[in-house]
């Protein structure tokens, strides 16, 4: 394992605490703006994201600018020692612009021009929109670039979606020409052209996928998604031209998203590519705490997973850009956080590498669709309510944790997540249409490490595998020859590699490998998978592995052994007694293939053996029951150990050696009781 270094992602040597602040909604209420400043101090907040949707306040008419109100906000925040995260306003545009330049409006996949309204719906190619965005960004950078309160740039808001207008069609064709070296045959080959007569005889015939017809051409869909990511990057690069020029020392971020139920990374864009164009990863987290379909601990595990993915994208601390101090307004049921949960859920983000706790939103708006979304300041305009006090408690806690800012997380375990793979796998018409569950499968492999308090980096395929003693690659359906070669040399050089069913099936064009499993994989694993058996939801098989029997559901691979070793065998069906779990020594390393989707208990037992063999246990071995999570950040001076009770009961834990509670100063050893949702943050020197 290569040792990581600490890194402060902004100039602040304190945790950022605050949130999206929309004073532009209250410009005719100076009393409210004055209360804001007062409440900011009372709530122990220090950083505010401004201007996110303020374009119509900044430029109410074309070329007519109003910055005075923002000047005042900057100065007022600065006066109380606060910082500003300044947003570029491209997430939503003024009506005059849509009216005068309809090209800025997006065209949907059915080729319908969208009307003005809503947000996050610009054309990402439109020359006018690019020009207007750059113009306003330049003015913002010129005006606030030297302001002492300016800490970070927030580029646009939650980039998403695509546009099917003529500009975008042309840009797509241009992108294809560059990608395929102007060779139309190469494109037709990559897209398996003759299928349903989809061979193109001229570039001009190619269009973005329509909602129905072109869905069948997987290569086209895949390339369109890649183009959408690249075109978003090109839009970002255009936005930041004046920012890089005028404020080269101010870092930039753009806020990422995730699905709220299963914490599946946002799928519209390949975030691993965008990560290379920004300085800091930030994201907006809205887990459904206290839901009625899973335990708090199960949800906490998934939150851990996505944090470890977003942290690993740049291998440095990230920022929580938005969260809610209480509830949201867009879940199916918008439930309030129970007492203790706000502090606990915030500390979990910090434990996994966040250097901020920021909220959407500072103050609830009076009208429109987000007026019931949780906020630090409610419609009562009072600091005397539960939510405000919860926020202040988080603020006070963060103030005491300042030495943790910039601390990293060392991991011996890499777990590979790939956006393109998920796109291709979800497209694949085969297997079980509802049971592919790629991200959930990664979470299943993440779980045993989370339960054992072992840090995992959730990495992407462009990263260096040799940083890890153990590399886990579940369901890598789409694996390019290059990725396969890199996995092979990882094992040859001593790495431990785990792969599963439905891996190594297609190349980067979504074309299947011919002549059986790729030869490189056969060599590394010593096997040849021959068939994937897909189960109905109630179908079961079982695998006998090292004296125990484990349940199989959804998928079972039938394996032809070459020179590998069968570690576990199926117990039923026509492939009874054939290998299900295999291992193989290759070069200086070892490779395991898990042919079946097995129950959690199997993963616990299987990975425990590897954990013991590789000696990759937790930093501090605190004994506890399931539902308590211990996560560590490593600073220059000490390790910081977050002990979190994600259960509704008191929990006894056992601390093996003296640790100091960073908040209370108590020295702790031996038994300790954690109350429901309690979190303790301990220093280990």
Tell me which residues are annotated as active site: 158, 322
For tokens 């804001």, what's the residue? Answer: 36
Q: Does 286 bind ligand GLA (CB under 6 A)?
A: yes
Q: Does 359 bind ligand GLA (CB under 6 A)?
A: no
**Chosen residue from 24, 162, 223, 284 binding ligand GLA by CB under 6 A:** 284
Q: Which lies closer to ligand GLA via its Cβ, residue 154 or residue 408? A: 154
DSSP SS3 for 489:
helix
Cβ pair 473, 503 in contact under 8 A: yes
Q: Which lies closer to ligand GLA via its Cβ, residue 286 or residue 305? A: 286
Number of residue whose CB is nearest ligand GLA: 284
**Chosen residue from 130, 164, 373, 496 binding ligand GLA by CB under 6 A:** 373
Cβ pair 290, 338 in contact under 8 A: yes
DSSP SS3 for 354:
strand
**Of how many residues is the chain composed?**
685
Give buried/exposed letters for 544-570 (b at 16+ CB in 10 A, else e): bbeeeebebbbbbbbbeeeebebbbbb
- State the binding partner of 158 from Zn ion, ligand GLA, none, CB within 5 to 8 A by kind: ligand GLA
Q: How far is the CB of 104 from Zn ion (least distance, A)?
A: 9
Q: How far is the CB of 420 from ligand GLA (least distance, A)?
A: 25
Q: How far is the CB of 318 from ligand GLA (least distance, A)?
A: 15
Count of residues that interact with Zn ion, criterion CB under 5 A = 6
Cβ pair 271, 225 in contact under 8 A: no
Q: Does 24 bind ligand GLA (CB under 6 A)?
A: no
For residue 597, count other CB atoms closer than 10 A to its CB: 24
Cβ pair 340, 302 in contact under 8 A: no
Q: Does 453 bind ligand GLA (CB under 6 A)?
A: no
Cβ pair 45, 376 in contact under 8 A: yes
- DSSP structural state of residue 682: E
Q: Does 413 bind Zn ion (CB under 5 A)?
A: no
Site residues for ligand GLA, 146-175, by CB under 6 A, read: 157-158
Q: Which lies closer to ligand GLA via its Cβ, residue 19 or residue 627? A: 19
Q: How far is the CB of 345 from ligand GLA (least distance, A)?
A: 15
**Chosen residue from 163, 187, 233, 280 binding Zn ion by CB under 5 A:** 163
Q: Does 556 bind Zn ion (CB under 5 A)?
A: no
Cβ within 8 Å of residue 117, ≥6 positions away: none
Q: How far is the CB of 158 from ligand GLA (least distance, A)?
A: 5
Q: Does 87 bind ligand GLA (CB under 6 A)?
A: no
d(CA 409, CA 633): 5
- State the binding partner of 163 from ligand GLA, Zn ion, none, CB within 5 to 8 A by kind: Zn ion
Count of residues that interact with ligand GLA, criterion CB under 6 A = 9
Q: How far is the CB of 324 from ligand GLA (least distance, A)?
A: 7
Select from 131-139, 140-148, 166-174, 414-422 the region that touches Zn ion (CB under 5 A).
Answer: 166-174
Q: Does 328 bind ligand GLA (CB under 6 A)?
A: yes
Provide the mask over 120-139, with x wherever binding to Zn ion is found by CB under 5 A and - wherever it is not: ---x-x--------------
Cβ pair 419, 267 in contact under 8 A: yes
Residues forming beta bridges with residue 628, ordered by sequence position: 645
Q: Does 360 bind ligand GLA (CB under 6 A)?
A: yes
- State the binding partner of 168 from ligand GLA, Zn ion, none, CB within 5 to 8 A by kind: Zn ion
Residue 245's nearest CA partner among 130, 128, 142, 132 is 142
Structure tokens at 492: 């040859």
d(CA 107, CA 678): 49
* 511 CB burial (10 A radius; 0-12, 13-18, 19+): middle
d(CA 135, CA 97): 13
Q: Which residues form the interface with Zn ion (CB under 5 A)?
A: 123, 125, 163, 165, 167-168
Which stretches of the chain bind ligand GLA, using CB under 6 A? 157-158, 284, 286, 322, 328, 360, 370, 373
């Amino acid at each position: 394992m290569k040792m990581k270094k600490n890194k402060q992602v902004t100039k602040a040597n304190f945790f950022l605490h605050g949130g999206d602040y929309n004073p532009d909604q209250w410009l005719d209420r100076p009393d409210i703006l004055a209360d804001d400043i007062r409440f900011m101090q009372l709530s122990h907040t220090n950083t505010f994201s401004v201007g996110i949707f303020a374009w119509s306040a900044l430029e109410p008419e074309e070329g007519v600018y109003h910055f005075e109100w923002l000047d005042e906000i900057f100065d007022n925040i600065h006066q109380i020692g606060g910082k500003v995260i300044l947003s570029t306003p491209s997430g939503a545009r003024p009506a005059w612009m849509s009216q005068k330049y309809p090209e800025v409006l997006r065209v949907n996949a059915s080729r319908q021009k969208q009307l003005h309204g809503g947000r996050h719906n610009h054309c990402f190619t439109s020359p006018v929109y690019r020009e207007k965005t750059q113009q306003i960004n330049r003015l913002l950078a010129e005006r606030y670039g030297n302001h002492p309160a300016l800490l970070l740039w927030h580029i646009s808001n939650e980039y998403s979606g695509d546009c099917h207008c003529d500009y975008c069609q042309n840009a797509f064709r241009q992108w294809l020409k560059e990608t395929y070296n102007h060779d139309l045959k190469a494109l037709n080959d990559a897209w398996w052209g003759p299928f349903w007569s989809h061979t193109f005889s001229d570039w001009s015939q190619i269009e973005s996928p329509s909602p129905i017809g072109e869905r069948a051409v997987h290569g086209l869909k895949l390339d369109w998604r890649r183009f959408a990511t690249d075109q978003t990057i090109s839009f970002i690069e255009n936005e930041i031209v004046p920012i890089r020029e005028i404020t080269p020392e101010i870092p930039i971020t753009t806020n990422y998203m995730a699905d709220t139920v299963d914490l599946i990374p946002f799928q519209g864009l390949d975030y691993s590519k965008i990560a290379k164009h920004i300085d800091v990863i930030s994201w907006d987290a809205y887990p459904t705490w206290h839901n009625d379909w899973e335990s708090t601990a199960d949800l906490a595990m998934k939150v851990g997973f996505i944090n470890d993915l977003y942290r690993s994208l740049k291998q440095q601390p990230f920022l929580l850009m938005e969260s809610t101090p209480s509830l949201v307004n867009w879940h199916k049921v918008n439930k309030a956080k129970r007492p203790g949960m706000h502090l606990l859920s915030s500390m979990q983000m910090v434990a996994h590498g966040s250097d901020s706790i920021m909220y959407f939103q500072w103050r609830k708006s009076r009208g429109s669709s987000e007026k019931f979304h949780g906020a630090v300041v409610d419609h009562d305009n009072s600091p005397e309510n539960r939510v405000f006090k919860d926020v202040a408690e988080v603020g006070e806690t963060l103030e005491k944790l300042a030495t943790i800012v910039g601390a990293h997380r060392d991991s011996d375990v890499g777990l590979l997540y790939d956006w393109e793979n998920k796109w291709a796998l979800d497209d694949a018409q085969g297997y079980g249409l509802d049971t592919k569950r790629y991200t959930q499968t990664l979470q299943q492999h993440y779980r045993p490490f989370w339960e054992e308090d072992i840090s995992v980096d959730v990495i992407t395929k462009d990263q260096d595998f040799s940083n890890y003693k153990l590399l886990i690659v579940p369901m890598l359906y789409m694996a390019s020859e290059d990725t396969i070669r890199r996995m092979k040399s990882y094992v040859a050089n001593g790495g431990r590699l785990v792969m599963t069913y439905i891996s190594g099936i297609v190349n980067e064009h979504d074309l299947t490998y011919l002549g059986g499993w790729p030869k490189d994989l056969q060599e590394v694993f010593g096997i040849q998978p021959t068939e994937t058996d897909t189960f109905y939801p109630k179908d079961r098989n079982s695998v006998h592995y090292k004296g125990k029997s484990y349940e199989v559901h959804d998928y079972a691979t039938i394996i032809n052994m070459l020179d590998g070793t069968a570690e576990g065998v199926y117990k039923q069906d026509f492939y009874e007694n054939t290998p299900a779990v295999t291992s193989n020594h290759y070069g200086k390393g070892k490779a395991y293939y898990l042919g079946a989707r097995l129950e959690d208990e199997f993963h616990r037992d299987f990975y425990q053996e590897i954990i013991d063999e590789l000696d990759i246990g937790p930093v501090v071995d605190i004994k506890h029951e399931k539902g308590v999570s211990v996560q560590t950040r490593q600073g220059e001076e000490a390790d910081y150990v977050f002990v979190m009770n994600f259960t509704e009961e008191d929990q006894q834990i056992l601390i093996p050696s003296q640790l100091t509670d960073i908040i209370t100063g108590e020295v702790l050893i031996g038994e300790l009781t954690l109350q429901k949702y309690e979190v303790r943050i301990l220093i280990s020197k």
